[in-house]
């Protein structure tokens, strides 16, 4: 139940199709123009958009998400002109990144212009900017005539939404409209690179890898928790949307990282331990760990558990699309613990997948 001082609104939900595209986008743009909030799909996850240059509109994002104040947002743009409107002193290397990866899953942190309100930037002198690779937000930005402040369309701290149903569950009654454009193609948020420092720093891994970035702009540093020593500098104040915890279901998550059967063996030991204590356990598994664990469970006469398969270990891109939905589905089961599989390849979206699993977990085990 919402507190009395919270904004309660009627949330319109539109299933966007080729037939109704223009009418729905025009209605959504009108909502943005009058200072409202609209959730929509991007190629990464669903975003919650408002006029990023209107402080009152941006405040509604914080209120709807129950997002802590001071947590910086990023801006979605439609064109290079939008970038020049909201930022200044843009290095040439940043323009090269735009040429190489936009529209696409890359957020570039730049020095901001005074036109960007403090509430949008978290009172920082920088702002994250991205051009999404999805027709719906690009048209919405164009028709609304303004860059959109657009964090993920979920309650703050919870798993990001890869389906409109997730947005409906979290934000109905809290925002003005939801545009249902189907499943997000990637399922994890964009790579974030800070171009206001030298060398540039990757603050969040995503679909654009460090190797790909370095092929365009030269040496970059890692500023996120990768599990390696020496690469976890405290850069949290510069992270667009990353100043506070993310991706966390209500159920406690235990992450088991390692390779092959060592992970499966640890899963079985944990299951034995937790279930001997009378705890209800859910599993978030690769296909291989599921098969190996099933064999061990049969040998040890352990009964069935709630589980969700993410995909093959060597196809982390498949797992990435299912991760947030999997966390949300298991979180509905009334479990005491979710044990998550960290045996996926680090290729492709693998690094970003493991990063999100680490962020979601309260206990991390390496075997």
Q: Which band of pLDDT confidence, cut at 50, 70 and 90, is reported for residue 261?
A: confident
pLDDT band at 235 (very low <50, low <70, confident <90, very high): very low
The fold of the 252-366 domain, in CATH, is Rossmann fold (3.40.50)
- Contact 105/217 with Cβ under 8 angstroms? no
Q: Is 191 exposed, middle or buried (0-12, 13-18, 19+ CB in 10 A)?
A: buried
Helix, strand or coil, per DSSP, at residue 54:
coil
Quickly tell me which residue has 């206001």 as its tokens: 196
Domain limits, CATH 3.90.870.10, in the chain = 12-238
Tell me how far apart the alpha carbons of residues 117 and 123 are, in angstroms, rounded to a whole number: 8
Q: For the segment 207-226, what is each residue's pLDDT rounded down to a tens digit?
A: 999 999 999 999 999 998 66
**Contact predicate 217/93, CB 8 Å:** yes
Helix (H, G, I), strand (E, B) or coil at 157: coil
Q: Distance between CA 322 and CA 188 in Å, rounded?
A: 9
Residue 64 has which token pair? 């709807």
Torsion angles phi and psi, residue 335, rounded to 5: -85, 160
Q: Which stretch of DSSP H or E encloses residue 69?
A: none
Could you tell me the pLDDT band of residue 246, with boundaries at 50, 70 and 90?
A: low
Cα separation of 92 and 5, whole Å? Answer: 46
Distance of alpha carbon 351 from its chain centroid, rounded? Answer: 14
What pLDDT, on the 0 to 100 scale, is given for residue 157? Answer: 87
DSSP 166-189: HHHHHHTTTSSEEEE--S-SS-SP
> What DSSP character marks residue 237?
G
- pLDDT of the residue at 299: 54
| 284 pLDDT higher than 50 | yes
Task: Reduce the DSSP state of residue 204 to 3 states and report it.
Answer: strand
Counting Cβ atoms within 10 Å, is residue 319 exposed (0-12), middle (13-18) or buried (19+)?
buried
Q: Which CATH architecture has domain 12-238?
A: Alpha-Beta Complex (3.90)
| CA pair distance 64, 260, nearest whole angstrom | 42
Nearest C-alpha neighbor of 118 from the set 73, 170, 184: 73
Which H helix or E strand runs over 262? helix 260-276
CA–CA gap between residue 78 and residue 130 (Å, rounded): 9
Q: What pTM was estimated for this model as a whole? A: 0.91
**Residue 367 CA to chain centroid, in angstroms?**
27
Q: What is the mean pLDDT of residues 51-59?
A: 98
For residues 302 and 245, the answer to whether their CB atoms sit within 8 Å is: no
Tokens of 134: 């999805």
- Contact between 90 and 110 under an 8 Å Cβ cutoff? The reply is yes
At residue 230 the predicted structure's pLDDT band, cuts being 50, 70 and 90, is: very low
Mean pLDDT of the chain: 90
pLDDT at 1 over 70: no
Phi and psi torsions of 201, nearest 5°: -120, 130
Measured torsion, CA atoms of residues 244, 94, 107, 178, in degrees rounded to the nearest 10? 130
109-113, 295-299, 344-348: which is most confident: 109-113
pLDDT score, position 50: 98
**pLDDT tens digits for range 178-207:** 999 999 999 999 999 999 999 999 999 999
Q: 121: exposed, middle or buried (C-beta count within 10 Å: 0-12, 13-18, 19+)? A: buried
| Strands, sheet with 252-257, edge to edge from the N-terminal-most edge strand | 306-311, 281-286, 337-342, 252-257, 363-366
The predicted pLDDT at position 303 comes to 54
Query: Where are the domain boundaries for CATH 3.40.50.11030 in the chain?
Result: 252-366
């Amino acid at each position: 139940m919402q507190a009395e001082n919270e904004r309660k609104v009627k949330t319109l939900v539109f299933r966007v199709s080729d037939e109704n595209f223009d009418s729905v986008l025009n209605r959504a743009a009108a909502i943005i123009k009058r200072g409202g909030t609209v959730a929509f799909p991007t190629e990464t996850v669903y975003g919650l958009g408002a006029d990023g240059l209107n402080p009152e509109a941006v405040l509604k994002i914080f209120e709807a998400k129950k997002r802590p104040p001071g947590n910086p947002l990023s801006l979605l743009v439609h064109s290079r002109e939008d970038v020049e409107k909201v930022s200044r002193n843009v290095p040439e290397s940043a323009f090269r990144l735009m040429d190489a990866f936009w529209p696409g899953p890359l957020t570039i942190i730049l020095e901001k212009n005074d036109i960007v309100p403090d509430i949008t930037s978290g009172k920082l002198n920088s702002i994250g900017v991205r051009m999404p690779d999805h027709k719906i937000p690009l048209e919405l930005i164009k028709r609304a005539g303004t860059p959109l402040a657009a964090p993920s369309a979920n309650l703050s701290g919870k798993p990001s939404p890869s389906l409109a149903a997730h947005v409906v569950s979290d934000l109905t009654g809290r925002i003005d409209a939801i545009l249902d454009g189907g499943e997000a193609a990637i399922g994890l948020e964009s790579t974030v690179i800070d171009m206001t420092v030298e060398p540039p720093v990757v603050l969040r891994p995503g679909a654009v890898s460090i190797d790909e970035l370095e092929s365009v702009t030269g040496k970059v540093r890692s500023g996120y928790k990768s599990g390696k020593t020496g690469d976890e500098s405290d850069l949290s104040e510069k992270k667009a949307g990353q100043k506070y915890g993310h991706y966390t279901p209500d159920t406690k998550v235990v992450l088991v990282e390692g390779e092959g059967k060592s992970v499966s063996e640890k899963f079985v030991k944990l299951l034995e331990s937790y279930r001997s204590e009378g705890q209800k356990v859910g599993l978030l598994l690769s296909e291989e760990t599921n098969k190996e664990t099933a064999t061990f469970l049969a040998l040890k006469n352990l009964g069935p558990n709630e589980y969700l398969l993410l995909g093959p270990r060597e196809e982390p891109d498949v797992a990435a699309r299912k991760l947030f939905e999997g966390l949300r589905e298991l979180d509905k089961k009334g479990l005491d613990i979710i044990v998550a599989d960290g045996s996926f390849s680090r290729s492709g979206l693998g690094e970003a997948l493991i990063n999100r699993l680490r962020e979601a977990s309260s206990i991390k085990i390496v075997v």
